Amino acid sequence: MTTEEAFARLARSHFRSRFHLSPEDVAYIEKVGMDAIRSHAEDFVRTRLAPADIPNDGKQTPMKGHPVFLAQHATACCCRGCLRKWYHVPQGVPLSPAQQQKIVNLLMAWMEKEYSK
**pLDDT tens-digit map of 49-79:** 999 988 888 777 888 889 999 999 999 999 9
- Global confidence as pTM: 0.92
Domain that holds residue 51: 3-115
**Ranges of the chain whose pLDDT falls below 50:** none
Type of residue numbered 8: A
Nearest-CA neighbor of 48 among 28, 25, 68?
68
State how far the Cα of 16 lies from the Cα of 13, in Å rounded to an integer: 5
Instruction: Look at residue 1 in the predicted model and tell me its pLDDT.
Output: 81
Type of residue numbered 41: A
Instruction: Look at residue 117 in the predicted model and tell me its pLDDT.
Output: 65
State how far the Cα of 13 lies from the Cα of 24, in Å rounded to an integer: 25
Count: domains in the chain: 1
